[in-house]
Chain A
Amino acid sequence: AQSVTQPDIHITVSEGASLELRCNYSYGATPYLFWYVQSPGQGLQLLLKYFSGDTLVQGIKGFEAEFKRSQSSFNLRKPSVHWSDAAEYFCAFNTNAGKSTFGDGTTLTVKP
């Protein structure tokens, strides 16, 4: 069965510090992977996606993610966090059948 795991429920970082949010997936074939961000009271916005090719993908707002097949991971990174990055982050997985599976989310708090 396919699944997505975000091991960290809540992460707190200081403004200006680097950030890494973890995501692991379980699937028997080539995954289609996504990171979404949800600001308070808002819908989800796509940050970046991986379908194939270069395993390091760049997204909006200075985020990047690296696909590692050997570790079944798709971790999200940002070199320097801004206070406006405080939000809920969701890793998601999709198949050719179009069914999306979302991780349980990671809440990011940014300290001044």
Chain B
Amino acid sequence: DTAVSQTPKYLVTQMGNDKSIKCEQNLGHDTMYWYKQDSKKFLKIMFSYNNKELIINETVPNRFSPKSPDKAHLNLHINSLELGDSAVYFCASSRGLEQYFGPGTRLTVT
């Protein structure tokens, strides 16, 4: 059984488009995260939700909007995609401090 799943795994789109990435966890965790990993593999936290409430919002363009319909889901919507948004986006969940990561979504903006 997949603990943290993301869809899609790959996403290729053109500049200016709007796209969403979905994340689901079946671990019963209270906290979920979105991370961005760039081409140099640097990993940076973007958002964190606890019980559907936003608790961490790093310096991220407001084109990025997370939505948590329930504790098990945290989706990431991106408006007006730019070339610099190309990266691998990881969802993670935790109860406490130990995080479990999804397999990642590779976003390519052309």
Contact = CB atoms under 8 A, between A and B. Distances in A.
Interface of A: 32, 34, 36, 38, 41-46, 49, 51, 88, 90, 94, 97-102, 104-105, 107
Nearest to A46: B98
Contacts, number: 55
Interface of B: 4, 31, 33, 40-45, 48, 50, 55-56, 90, 92, 94, 97-104
Contact of B90 (A44, A49, A104, A105): A44
B103 A43 contact: yes
Nearest to B31: A98
Nearest to B48: A98
B100 A46 contact: yes
Contacts of A90: 43
Contact of B42 (A41, A43, A51, A104): A104
A105 B31 contact: no
A46 to B, nearest CB: 6
